[in-house]
A = this chain, B = another copy of it.
Amino acid sequence: MNTIDTAVYMADLGFRARAASRETARAGTAAKDGALRAIARRLRQQADALVETNQLDLDAARKAGNDGAFVDRLALTRSTVEQMAAGLEQIAQLPDLIGEISELRQRPSGIQVGRMRVPLGVIGIIYESRPNVTVDAAGLCIKSGNATILRGGSEAIQSNRALAELIRQGLEEAGLPADAVQLVATTDRAVVGSLITSPQWVDVVIPRGGKSLIERIATQAPVPVIKHLDGICHVFIDESANTRMAIEVADNAKTQRYSPCNAMETLLVATAAAPRVLPELCRIYQQKSVELRGDEATCSLLTQHGIACKPASDEDWRTEYLAPILSIRILGGIDEAIAHINEYGSNHTDAIVTSDHAHAMRFLREVDSASVLVNASTRFADGFEFGLGAEIGISTDKLHARGPVGLEGLTSQKFVVLGSGQIRT
């Protein structure tokens, strides 16, 4: 498309989305849940056709030379279609937050002031070539009363078109506007630029994917962005930590899975705890082929125990490996640990293992991260484990949504005032 075509296309999408958002904002819970269930039913009915359509995307992706992990994420099977359908039904079972009025209080003037939870309006979601995100994101936006414009990776275009058609049908069956969920049907990249620079049509953009994409969108977008950047997560083993617990939590935080953003990247250990914790723990890492990079004290201690340890550079403390590599630092205690995390961390997720109540409380309050844990693995930091019922992403911002973002992050609260003719004097 040329520039004018892109602008016209975006204005059409945006106008429809804005109009639909007015309807979805006032839609009742039954209609929204009905749409979610109707889409789930259609997904199951059309599972074979979806898998067949997906084959076109898979063939093209393989032909283009994409790697196995890429093709895996792109693939739809009968089982992933069932997961998408079940996911929508779970969202339907969550409470409807929209319209909830809280903190309604009487003021001296006679008015009552409270806060009502309302949808944000139109949400733009930009994501990689994973067709399941099309359905998950649509489901969360429908439930929260928002309209959405979805822009998935171009390699998934055939699959996404088929899914978007089923979503439209489901919305219409439930009496909601089909335009409540629109897919950007072109793979033209200019549309992304148009989406993030159209505050008149889009209230918030949620980019999902690589860090460089997200950074580019965040710096270029006049539209507010809910974003996830680095997850440089720490576990700090305090002097008073229970040895067994420290080893289990630190092992789990690193090795349960290497790629999630809430996996540990740097282990901090109080000097007094290092001799009783590190050798046994690092033997486990060694068995699991985790490469260890330590400061001088760590390398010296591990070498004494015959465990390989490379020297860590300053760059290591700032690196999100997302891989079987771990940096380790021995430091004096809680003060140095908090200072290290606030200096080198990414304000994402950090944990302390301790038996000392005062240290636990200081860590919770002073570590400036979205999720802070005492005596639990960093891997718990996600929307489902936290009880949000769903997750559209994890925010590393401090404003608006912080940490795992569920339905609430797709809403705002406005002030509502109930009066009986009060005027200001």
Contact = CB atoms under 8 A, between A and B. Distances in A.
A224 B120 CA distance: 18
B118 A365 contact: yes
Interface string A348-374: 000101000000101011101111111
Contact of A222 (B111, B219, B351, B415): B219
A77 interface: no
Nearest to A418: B374
A245 interface: yes
Contacts of A182: none
Contacts of A372: 116, 414-417
Contacts of A423: 248-249, 251-253, 256, 376-377, 379
Interface string A232-270: 000000000010110011011100100000000000000
A109 interface: yes
Contacts of A386: 107, 113, 415, 417
Interface in A177-204: 203-204
B116 A387 contact: no
B113 A387 contact: yes
B403 A366 contact: no
A1 to B, nearest CB: 26
A111 B25 CA distance: 35
B415 A120 contact: no
Given A118-B365, A387-B107, A381 B418 contact: no
B118 A377 contact: no
Nearest to A403: B415
A105 interface: yes
Given A385-B107, A398-B121, A362 B417 contact: no
Given A364-B116, A399-B399, A242 B419 contact: no
A70 interface: no
Nearest to A246: B421
A67 to B, nearest CB: 27
A417 B99 contact: no
Contact of A365 (B116, B251, B413, B421): B116
Contact of A109 (B242, B248, B380): B380
A110 B421 CA distance: 51
Contacts of A26: 362, 365-366
A80 interface: no
A366 B22 contact: yes
Contact of A414 (B219, B370, B419): B370
Interface string A381-401: 100011100000000011110
A385 B424 contact: yes
Nearest to A362: B26
A419 B376 contact: yes
Interface in A15-46: 22, 25-26
A349 to B, nearest CB: 9
Contact of A25 (B256, B368, B375): B368
Interface in A308-344: 342
Q: Which 8 A-B pairs have the closest CB atoms?
A: A376-B419, A252-B423, A245-B421, A373-B417, A379-B424, A399-B400, A375-B419, A371-B415
9 contacts: A107-B385, A244-B421, A351-B417, A371-B414, A376-B417, A379-B423, A385-B424, A399-B412, A402-B413
Given A116-B372, A224-B399, A371-B414, 12 more contacts: A22-B342, A107-B387, A224-B398, A371-B417, A372-B416, A373-B417, A374-B417, A374-B418, A379-B423, A381-B415, A381-B417, A402-B415
Interface of A: 22, 25-26, 99, 105, 107, 109, 111, 113, 116, 118, 120-121, 203-204, 218-219, 222, 224, 226, 242, 244-245, 248-249, 251-253, 256, 342, 351, 353, 360, 362, 364-366, 368-377, 379-381, 385-387, 397-400, 402-404, 412-425
